[in-house]
Amino acid sequence: MPLMLDLALRWCKAKERWIDYVYDNIIKKYPKEKRLIVVKQVLGIKQRWKRQEIFDHIKYSELKPITREQVDEIPKSELYMSFKDTFDWSKLQIEDHDMYEYWKEVADWVDWFSTSHIPIESLYQECCRWRMSKEETIGVIMSRYSIDRKLTEFLIKSFK
């Protein structure tokens, strides 16, 4: 699982829930011998099919594998799945608005970790080079990024 996604899901305590959701709504619809490939596609590790085909839950027999030559010709946005791509947002909003709101909040955290983790890690490393104490480092990160202590400590653990 990509690091930023893993961290965001752990922070939101949503990792198992998301894995169950993806399994129930995407992965288990494919033959057992092909599920590993689908998992890799969902996680963005492998680009075997166009993202929309997976999202649309096309039958495995109807999926058109992408050749190595085609990979360079197809826009990356059509290949790689993101966290948000694992949900049918309009269906979710209609069928279960509370779940829609829950996953929207988790998606916001996934975006936040994707954009903030690296700059905060750079600041952490800078504080380490300046030999700041743990408390000073926490204070610098909290004030620079306007985040609370619990999140700051969670991030620092992820840097080690």
Q: Residue 60: pLDDT band by 50, 70, 90 thresholds?
A: very low
Query: What number is the average pLDDT over the span 48-65?
Result: 51
| Helix residue spans in the chain (DSSP H) | 3-11, 15-25, 35-42, 51-55, 68-71, 76-79, 89-95, 97-129, 134-145, 149-159
**Dist CA 29 CA 99 (whole Å):** 21
What is the domain range of residue 118?
Answer: 3-159
Query: What number is the average pLDDT over the span 56-65?
Result: 51
Domain count of the fold of the chain: 1
Q: Half-sphere exposure of residue 148, counting CA atoms within 13 Å on the CB side?
A: 3
**Dist CA 54 CA 42 (whole Å):** 8
- Taking only the tens place, the pLDDT of each residue in 116-159 is 999 999 999 999 999 999 999 999 999 999 999 999 999 999 99
